[in-house]
């Protein structure tokens, strides 16, 4: 493709010769020579942003004052929150977020035609890659047929969606689809799509080199930061604007330097390191900031470990977690099959443009913190937040404390051992502490025999997600744990649903080359698919007997997964406590099947001779792991597996679609529907109106995630979404998941605020998506919102701290808007969700002056009127809000309007960012 660059009025464009080829590039040193400031002490991650502005400097969207602001940033100790226009080079999508994005583009084509424009104006101007990875569900597990049977079910469930995506690939320029069964988008991006330094011809036909940058419609886009590629997650609506040529409006970020010293000790993994990093950065507070890792300790951190740390940036709240280019970057690019010309360009460009990490590298940062990696210990995180770090030696005790909290101070059933009367026999009943009626155990009878479940029974153990399955050190480690356990005669407990879902086919290649897949199969970790699976909530159903026992006895069942998210209600509707762990620990926990067991010191079971087996007996050494990684993770494997990455298997090739500029929306589809955003849209934008006499739809607590707001997993026929599908003769077996139905706004509206664990504080002790309707009675949130809309009553959401944490889920904002919510008032926001709300025309506000839902004594029966929005509203303005109680008394508080930039104000005036883009394109 051709890139369009700026006017270069400062003469910063220079020439770089690499291996006989010439590349133009935009020189930071030349910017200094031109008198635009001093930039040598900037962090590498900020130099990437600065280069972007140099390349697109046109005097209009990017000015020389914008460039000078980076020099002022350094002079001001790492602070200068100036608004800038940033243009990423490309966009990455996965299918859960990609389908609604393509739906929006298709709807925009209809919309621009209605405005008298040309449908071909709606086309990505930047390259877009969509990787289908979120749809495979673990229906089958623990046997050699699991992979093929899950793939077959995936196509049965999702053929409508895949047909639509194939249409999009034909209809839109610069849009490629990586078919199902290839891998997880972030791992495919890291291993194949990314280049670290990109090159393309400009409008004058000259080849230009520049840093590889992207935004992605998944929050874990940050994984590629490990390879010095600047990327972060945005909502689908913001990504659509970016792919259509709109710059991303952002403030020059603060950059936190995270210094790594020392080196990891024997027995610890990259997962242990990243869980400690998450804890430290959450405590530090880095929401909306960049984090750059530096220090001599990086010399011992392989790129796979860096990618693991970068991946978890959403969990520690940062926009990104960046690693500068160094020798390890080049080694990884070589190992993963990049061509020699690209690797040479990366090295030459980084050194020439001041982005190479030299010994002693220590630029100016806004603030710093430090970790000696020698102090990192084996750990897990849970039971419901990634930052809840627990040393492995304290895991069993911490679980007991958690159960006491859930059980109102009563002990967990830690004393309820499972004892067998011979092979497959009935376990002896155990006395379990607790009051009469306090159910803590359930008996299950299956074809495998009889066993007892209790609080802490591990019913899911899953090696899953981009975070860890991209890392050969922990994956080989998991295989070696399986090998040693198998040799001693240990296997998974029969109530544990085990699964292995690698992030790419390369993982299978090296596990098979090391003969480790056979060992993993032997203890139940068979291949179930290449995709996100358990981490996204696609863990699939538990055995009916197990599910029934959990629900009949109200058990606190647990899961252990090598993922990045463990929010309530995400992993499985039957599982309350979820723990993040390294792949080797996932295998070990499957062997004991119980969170009450002190896995660090207690026996995992008996070997063939009746001797106790401990974790140390099956844990591989770092030398064992490194030897196998060196031997089996080869350049040839990467080149082979990615040779035909866009071709797909026979099933994908058999998907038929039509050739048309606009989409012929099938009226009967329950997966793809034309959204209402652009229907009857006027040609000109409106103005922002005050919020008058709004009612409260929900009062929510702290750390309400986008999973709470718009869940991705399964749902029941009794929910509004289930009722919608049932009325259209869709059987429960074919419901699929919320995530798979994001192309249908009717399902997603009904799923908004429908997480089974969400708690609306307007109701006492009620879990799930309920609220008070206009008549004061308890209703499903969707039903109440519909009733309010029929009355013409605007709605607000009230929330606590870190509202919208987690996934870059645009439907959390889309659903909020479609329910009739005009404003959200929270104590603080996570970055992506605040941006998504603005992108949908919903105004985010923050409490000020110590006010919050508790100090104000809000019950949800009040009405809210927010004024000062009409006319010349300034970004970040303080505005008055009048709260009227049912008895007529009023209070006035001050709110901070979190429309942060002038461009964001224009988005809200237009009704959203896509409306803004559509009108702009229609006028062009």
- The tens digit of pLDDT for each residue in 865-880 reads 999 999 899 999 999 9
Whole-number pLDDT of residue 429? 37
User: How is residue 422 written in tokens?
Assistant: 């011979």
CATH (domain of 384): 3.30.499.10
Whole-number pLDDT of residue 236? 81
Alpha-carbon span 450 to 448, nearest angstrom = 7
Whole-number pLDDT of residue 433? 40
H or E element in which residue 823 lies: strand 821-826
394 in the same domain as 288: no
309 in the same domain as 388: no
Q: With cut-offs at 50, 70 and 90, classify the pLDDT of residue 363.
A: very high
Whole-number pLDDT of residue 411? 56
**Residue 744 maps to a domain:** no
- The tens digit of pLDDT for each residue in 591-622 reads 999 999 999 999 999 999 999 999 999 999 99
Enumerate residues 6+ apart whose C-beta is below 8 A from 802: 287, 317, 702, 703, 704, 828, 829, 830
CATH (domain of 833): 3.20.19.10
Residue 417 above 60 pLDDT? no
- The tens digit of pLDDT for each residue in 169-185 reads 999 999 999 999 999 99
Residue 89 above 70 pLDDT? yes
- Out of 636, 666, 681, a domain closes at 636
Domain hosting 69: range is 2-86
290 in the same domain as 188: yes
Whole-number pLDDT of residue 140? 92
236 in the same domain as 352: yes
144 in the same domain as 63: no
Residue 49 above 70 pLDDT? yes
**Residue 384 maps to a domain:** yes
SS3 assignment, position 297: helix
Total domain count, the chain: 4
Whole-number pLDDT of residue 424? 34
384 in the same domain as 368: no
Residue 665 above 80 pLDDT? yes
399 in the same domain as 297: no
Residue 293 above 80 pLDDT? yes
- Work out the average pLDDT over 316-337: 97
User: How is residue 907 written in tokens?
Assistant: 């988005």
**Residue 674 maps to a domain:** no
443 in the same domain as 505: yes
Q: What DSSP string describes 75-109? A: HTTS----EEEE--SEEEEEHHHHHHHHHHHHHHH
SS3 assignment, position 324: coil
- The tens digit of pLDDT for each residue in 703-751 reads 999 999 999 888 999 999 999 999 999 999 899 889 889 999 999 999 9
- The tens digit of pLDDT for each residue in 115-155 reads 888 999 999 989 999 999 988 889 999 999 999 999 999 99
Whole-number pLDDT of residue 265? 96
Residue 414 above 60 pLDDT? no
Whole-number pLDDT of residue 392? 97
Whole-number pLDDT of residue 430? 40
Whole-number pLDDT of residue 426? 35
Whole-number pLDDT of residue 484? 98
**Residue 743 maps to a domain:** no
**Residue 54 maps to a domain:** yes
Alpha-carbon span 256 to 284, nearest angstrom = 10
Mean pLDDT taken over the chain: 92
Higher pLDDT, 608 or 447: 608
Residue 432 above 60 pLDDT? no
Whole-number pLDDT of residue 569? 79
**Residue 214 maps to a domain:** yes
**Residue 66 maps to a domain:** yes
158 in the same domain as 60: no
- Work out the average pLDDT over 538-557: 90
**Residue 676 maps to a domain:** no
Q: CA–CA distance from 446 to each of 145, 244, 522 (Å)?
A: 20, 55, 20
């Amino acid at each position: 493709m051709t890139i369009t660059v700026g006017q270069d009025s400062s003469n910063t464009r220079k020439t770089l010769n690499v291996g006989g080829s010439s590349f133009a590039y935009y020189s930071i040193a030349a910017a200094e020579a031109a008198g635009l400031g001093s930039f040598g002490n900037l962090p590498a991650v900020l130099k990437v942003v600065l280069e972007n502005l140099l390349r697109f400097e046109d005097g209009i969207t990017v000015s020389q004052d914008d460039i000078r602001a980076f020099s002022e940033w350094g002079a001001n100790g790492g602070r200068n929150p100036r608004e800038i226009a940033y243009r990423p080079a490309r966009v990455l999508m996965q299918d859960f977020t990609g389908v609604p994005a393509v739906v929006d583009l298709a709807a925009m084509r209809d919309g621009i035609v209605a405005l008298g424009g040309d449908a071909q104006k709606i086309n990505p101007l930047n390259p877009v890659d969509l990787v289908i990875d979120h749809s495979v569900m673990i229906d089958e597990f623990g046997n050699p047929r699991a992979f093929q049977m899950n793939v077959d079910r995936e196509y049965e469930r999702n053929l409508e969606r895949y047909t639509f995506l194939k249409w999009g690939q034909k209809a839109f320029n610069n849009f490629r689809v990586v078919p199902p069964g290839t891998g997880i988008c972030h791992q495919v991006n890291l291993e194949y799509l990314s280049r670290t330094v990109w090159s393309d011809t400009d409008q004058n036909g000259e080849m230009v080199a520049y840093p590889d940058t992207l935004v992605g419609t998944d929050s874990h886009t940050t994984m590629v930061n490990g390879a010095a590629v600047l990327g972060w997650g945005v909502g689908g609506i913001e990504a659509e604007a970016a792919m259509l040529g709109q710059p991303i409006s952002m403030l020059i970020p603060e950059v936190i330097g995270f210094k790594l010293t020392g080196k990891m000790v024997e027995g610890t993994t990259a997962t242990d390191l990243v869980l400690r990093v998450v804890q430290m950065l959450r405590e530090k507070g880095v929401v909306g900031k960049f984090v750059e890792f530096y220090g001599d300790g990086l010399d011992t951190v392989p790129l796979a470990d860096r990618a693991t740390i970068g991946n978890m940036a959403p969990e520690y709240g940062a926009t990104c977690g960046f690693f500068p280019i160094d020798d390890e970057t080049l080694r990884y690019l070589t190992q993963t099959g990049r061509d020699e010309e690209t690797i040479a360009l990366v090295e030459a460009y980084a050194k020439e443009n001041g982005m190479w990490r030299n010994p002693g590298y220590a630029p100016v940062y806004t603030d710093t913190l430090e970790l000696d990696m020698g102090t990192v210990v084996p750990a897990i995180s849970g039971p419901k937040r990634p930052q809840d770090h627990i040393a492995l030696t304290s895991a069993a005790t911490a679980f007991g404390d958690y159960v006491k909290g859930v059980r109102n101070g009563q002990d967990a059933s830690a004393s309820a051992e499972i004892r067998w009367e011979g092979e497959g026999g009935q376990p002896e009943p155990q006395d379990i502490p607790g009051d009469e009626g306090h159910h803590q155990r359930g008996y299950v009878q299956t074809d495998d025999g009889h066993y007892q479940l209790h609080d802490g029974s591990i019913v899911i153990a899953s090696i899953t997600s981009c975070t860890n399955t991209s890392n050969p050190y922990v994956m080989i480690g998991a295989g070696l744990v399986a090998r040693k356990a198998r040799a001693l005669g240990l296997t998974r407990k029969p109530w544990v649903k085990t699964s292995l879902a690698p992030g790419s086919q390369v993982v299978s290649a090296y596990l098979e080359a090391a003969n480790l897949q056979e060992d993993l199969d032997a203890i139940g970790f068979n291949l179930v698919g290449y995709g996100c699976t358990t981490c996204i909530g696609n863990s699939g159903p538990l055995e009916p007997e197990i599910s029934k026992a959990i629900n009949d006895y109200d058990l606190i069942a647990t899961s252990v997964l090598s993922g990045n998210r463990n929010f309530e209600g995400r992993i499985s509707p039957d599982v309350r406590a979820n723990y993040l762990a390294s792949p080797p620990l996932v295998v070990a926990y499957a062997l004991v099947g119980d969170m009450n067991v002190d896995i660090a010191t207690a026996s995992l079971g008996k070997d063939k001779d009746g001797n106790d087996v401990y974790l140390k007996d099956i844990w591989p050494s770092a030398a064992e792991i490194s030897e196998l990684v060196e031997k089996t993770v080869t350049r040839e494997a990467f080149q082979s597996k990615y040779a035909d990455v866009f071709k797909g298997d026979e099933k994908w090739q058999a998907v038929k679609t039509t050739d048309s500029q606009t989409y012929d929306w099938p009226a009967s589809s329950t997966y793809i529907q034309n959204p209402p955003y652009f229907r009857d849209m006027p040609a000109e934008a409106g103005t922002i109106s005050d919020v008058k006499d709004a009612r409260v739809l929900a009062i929510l607590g702290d750390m309400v995630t986008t999973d709470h707001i718009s869940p991705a997993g399964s749902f029941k026929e009794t929910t509004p979404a289930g009722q919608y599908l049932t009325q259209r003769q869709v059987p429960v077996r074919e419901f699929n998941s919320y995530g798979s139905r994001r192309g249908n706004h009717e399902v997603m509206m009904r799923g908004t605020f429908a997480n089974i664990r969400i708690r609306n504080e307007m109701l006492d002790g009620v879990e799930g998506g309920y609220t008070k309707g206009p008549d004061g009675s308890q209703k499903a949130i969707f039903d109440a919102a519909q009733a309010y809309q029929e009355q013409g009553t605007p709605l607000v959401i009230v929330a606590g701290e870190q509202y919208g944490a987690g996934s870059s889920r645009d439907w959390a904002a889309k659903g909020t808007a479609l329910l009739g919510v005009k404003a959200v008032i929270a104590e603080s926001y996570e970055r992506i969700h605040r941006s998504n709300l603005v992108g949908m025309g919903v105004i985010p506000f923050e409490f000020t002056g110590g006010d919050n839902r508790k100090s104000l004594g809000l019950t949800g029966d009040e009405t809210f009127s927010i004024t000062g929005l009409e006319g010349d509203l300034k970004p970040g303005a303080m505005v008055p809000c009048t709260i009227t109680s049912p008895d007529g008394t009023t209070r006035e508080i001050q709110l901070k309007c979190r429309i942060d930039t002038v461009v964001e104000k224009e988005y809200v005036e237009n009704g959203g960012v896509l409306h803004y883009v559509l009108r702009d394109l229609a006028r062009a």
